[in-house]
Every structure is written in structure tokens, then in C-alpha cells.
Amino acid sequence: YTCTGYFEGLKTPDAVSFEARYRENFGLTAPGLNHFAVSCYEAVYMLEGVQRRLDDGQSKVGSDAHHPIGGNGPRGGLYVRDRHARAPVYIARAEGLSIAPVIT
């Protein structure tokens, strides 16, 4: 068993959509998606949100609980609110050479 924010084969709507776009852009032989790859994607996504905030003239980023930064990424809702990141975590179990969700 493991718990992680993302694993290939996760069947949430956001994960299925992300994986389809990834395969469409990079092909079926592209490296497999995993928690580390998705975390890098989410980091760039969050930086874009910070930049958008700064472009709108807001000097304080991430400290206003009423205006979180983030949105739906491959794992689902990912937000920074009041200087804390909030994102779903999933439980999976090993089945041979792959992992399968315990709860989706």
C-alpha cells in the first residue's frame, strides 16, 4: 500500500483528462506519469497563478484566505490558501508491477 497525490491510472475525471492530453501531445511511448512528474507540472501551474496575482497588482500572494491560488490539476483541486497547500491524496496497493486505487 501507498498513499500519494497522483499515480498513473488514477480514474478521477481530472486525472483521466490530464493523461489523455499528455498521451495526445507526447505519444504512447512517452515516459509514464507519476507523482513526481505531476508535482513538477503542478509547481509550474501554481507559479503561473502567483504571476497572474502579481500582474493584477496584488502585493500579498498566498496570505489572503479569501482568494486562494490554484485550481484543478491532474490530482484534483490544488490550492494555496492562507499559506497552506491543500490537495487530495489517494491510497493505492501494488498489484504485480502496477498500482491500483483502493479508494477513488
Q: Which secondary-structure segment (H or E) carries 19?
A: helix 13-26
Q: Which of 9-13, 22-26, 99-103 is predicted most confidently?
A: 22-26
Of the listed ranges 2-11, 17-26, 32-41, 64-73, the least confidently predicted one is 64-73
- pTM of the entire structure? 0.75
